[in-house]
Amino acid sequence: MSPTQQSSTKWCRNPLSGVGLGLRTPHYEFVEQHQPDIPWFEVLIDNYLVDGGEPIQHLTRVRENYPITFHGVGMSLGSTDPLNMDYLKSLRDMIERFEPAQVSDHLAWVSTQQTYMHELLPLPFTEEAIKHVSNRIQQVQDFLGQRILVENVSSYMQFRDSDCSEWDFLNEIVQRADCNLLLDINNIYVSAENHQFNAQDYLDAIPVSRVREMHLAGYEDRGTYLLDSHSRPVHQPVWELYKQALQRVGPAPTLIEWDQNIPDFNVLLEEAGHADAIARDILDKPDEQFTNHTAADIVSRI
């Protein structure tokens, strides 16, 4: 049976909305047995590009009851190596098979000279990088036959060669590549603290019509810098920034990320509940909704 044939109409087809959670190995059993009231799950797709076995079987069961998104690190969109077509073919097969609501990767490079570092390395904010990355995103989108989302990363270094701000860099790339944006609120906060810029300036410059998802996570304070560890509850300043992002962007599916020291599922549910309560509070206030949107922004989001 081909991958396409396997993806019959049995998949849950709810539209993506609300606060989702990452599907992580320690929670497979809980999710399958209890089917918690979560609107969608994010799948770290690089962990599922295997030939068979447990991960695929769990993903299949979860997919029957929930919408999913694919989130990856392996596209290496910023790399100067050629695109890894084997990786993209595997990804395309999985997209055909599981029909994720959206597919995302990072505005970063993870490989060079055919060496993979499995780490999201930032780019210099230069015209050369804008051209290079935009072109690669377009190639990926052409190959996959769909728009992808690119995520802003946390960073711990800033290149001397950069000649614009991160938000200008991001804006230019999403426009030129005609891709969508996964806005990671924690990453904005972490980078703002590490590089001493104003997170509000970042948010103010975001092309809201391109935002299709937001991420929230907990960072770790290493003394000399903040580390985007995904190992803690969301910190208060990040919740505050999330409120501001909601006011600017409006409703967008939001994910609670937790990838290290993974707690009981109930802890994640509490975090998701908190994010949901914030979103309802902000978005139920018509005066504060879409305050910075133009009519064109709103129309393009529909």
Partner 1 sequence: MNNLQTIQQQILSAVYDETALATAGELVHATETLDAPSHIAIYRDSIRLGLAHALREIYPVCARLLGDAYFTQVCEQYIQEHPSHSPDLNRYGLAFPEFASKLSLANDLPWLPDVLRLERSWHKVFSGNDTTKFDLECLAELTEEQSLYACIVLQENMQLIDSVWPIDNIWHANRDFSKEPETLDLSELPDEKVCLMIWRDGLDMHLDLLTTEMGCLLQSLRDGDSLQTAYELLDQQYPTAEFSDLFGQIAANKWIAAVLLD
Residues that bind partner 1 (CB under 8 A): 46-47, 49-57, 73-74, 76, 78-80, 84, 87, 109-119, 121, 123-124, 126, 128-129, 132, 156-161, 194-196, 223-225, 227
In Å, how far are 21, 74, 124, 133 from 130, measured between CA atoms? 31, 19, 9, 5
Helix (H, G, I), strand (E, B) or coil at 195: helix
Centre a 10 Å sphere on the Cβ of residue 93 and count the other Cβ atoms it contains: 14
Give the shortest CB-237-to-partner 1 separation in angstroms: 18
CA 163 – CA 145 distance, rounded (Å): 33
Q: Interhelix angle for 166-177 vs 127-144, to 10°?
A: 40
Which of residues 79 and 180 has its CB atom nearest to partner 1 in the complex?
79
Which of residues 140 and 278 has its CB atom nearest to partner 1 in the complex?
140
Centre a 10 Å sphere on the Cβ of residue 253 and count the other Cβ atoms it contains: 22
Which of residues 182 and 226 has its CB atom nearest to partner 1 in the complex?
226
Give the shortest CB-132-to-partner 1 separation in angstroms: 6
Residue 227 exposed, middle or buried by CB count within 10 Å (0-12, 13-18, 19+): middle
Give the shortest CB-128-to-partner 1 separation in angstroms: 6
C-alpha dihedral (216, 221, 222, 223), degrees to nearest 10: 150
Which of residues 61 and 285 has its CB atom nearest to partner 1 in the complex?
61
Give the shortest CB-50-to-partner 1 separation in angstroms: 4
Q: Which two tokens stand for residue 91?
A: 């990804």
Q: Name the amino acid, one letter, at 26.
A: P
Give the shortest CB-143-to-partner 1 separation in angstroms: 15
Which of residues 55 and 263 has its CB atom nearest to partner 1 in the complex?
55
Give the shortest CB-35-to-partner 1 separation in angstroms: 20
Which of residues 50 and 277 has its CB atom nearest to partner 1 in the complex?
50
| CA-based max dimension of the chain | 54
Give the shortest CB-195-to-partner 1 separation in angstroms: 7
Which of residues 146 and 162 has its CB atom nearest to partner 1 in the complex?
162
Contacts by 249-252, CB closer than 8 A, 24 or more apart: 249/183, 249/206, 249/208, 249/211, 249/214, 250/208, 250/283, 250/289, 250/290, 250/293, 250/298, 250/301, 251/17, 251/279, 251/283, 252/183, 252/211, 252/212, 252/213, 252/214
